[in-house]
Amino acid sequence: MIILIVVVFAILGFVVSSKLKSKFKKYSQTALQANLSGAEIAKLMLADHNIHDVQVVCVEGQLTDHYNPMNKTVNLSPDVFYGRNAAATAVAAHECGHAVQHATAYTWLKMRSAMVPVQNISGKILNVVLIASLFGGFALGLPYPVIGYIVVGSYSVMTLFTLVTLPVEFDASNRALAWVQSRNIVTRPEYDMSKDALHWAAMTYVVAALASLATLAYYIFVFFGNRD
């Protein structure tokens, strides 16, 4: 069953990822009428929200764009940093949406940030316990039920993290789209392209959350589903 879950969501993830890359490639071929680069858009959006302590930097890779709340940087891949198209606009504004969330103490972002260390620890515990469970728990000197509680508890934290991530990502996209539209950064066709690109980017997080929920349900069934 776990293999089936992994395979199904791996295929689904591949399909969504491929669709996302296809959309970004397509929308990168249409020049933005405003002729602004992703970096320029990011700086403008930050300034419009009175955020002056966040830097916009270029990082290597493709689709490696992210906002780092630790050092307050909006990190844009070269295609986005230098790009002057709807795809670059969407990504740059989206990452700035996270910076705006940070500056305004957006509740879901605060919750997600607080969960990061707990989520990391849960992942490490889960790996150790799952390996030990292959030997009936003897490697840790723990009975099977205790192994179950640890696995389900750890995976519950990881699943909650993926669920909390959803409103954070959707909200950042909504902030981005509202700003580029009100600021007249994009034309109507460019707005539609930006919205579509961000939709498929969000779907990657939706798939991750569903995969995590399915896996959690499997572990609950395995450890506790056969009790009388």
CA–CA gap between residue 211 and residue 214 (Å, rounded): 5
CA–CA gap between residue 66 and residue 99 (Å, rounded): 10
- Please report the pLDDT score of residue 154 as a whole number: 93
Our count of domains for the chain comes to 1
> Which domain range does residue 52 map to?
2-224
Catalytic residues: 95
- Please report the pLDDT score of residue 175 as a whole number: 98
* 73-76: strand order across its sheet: 55-58, 73-76, 66-68
- Please report the pLDDT score of residue 138 as a whole number: 54
- Please report the pLDDT score of residue 183 as a whole number: 95
- Please report the pLDDT score of residue 128 as a whole number: 85
- Please report the pLDDT score of residue 79 as a whole number: 94
- Please report the pLDDT score of residue 3 as a whole number: 76
**pLDDT 10s digit of each residue in the chain, 228 long?**
667 877 888 898 899 989 999 999 999 998 999 999 999 999 999 999 999 999 999 999 988 999 999 999 999 999 999 999 999 999 999 999 999 999 999 999 999 999 999 999 999 998 888 777 666 555 566 677 788 888 899 999 999 999 999 999 999 999 999 999 999 999 999 999 999 999 999 999 999 999 999 989 988 988 887 655
Cα–Cα nearest to 162, from 124, 205, 198, 200? 205
At 56, which helix (H) or strand (E)? Answer: strand 55-58
- Please report the pLDDT score of residue 26 as a whole number: 94
At 37, which helix (H) or strand (E)? Answer: none
**3-class secondary structure, 55:** strand
DSSP characters over 60-100: SSSS--EEETTTTEEEE-HHHHH--BHHHHHHHHHHHHHHH
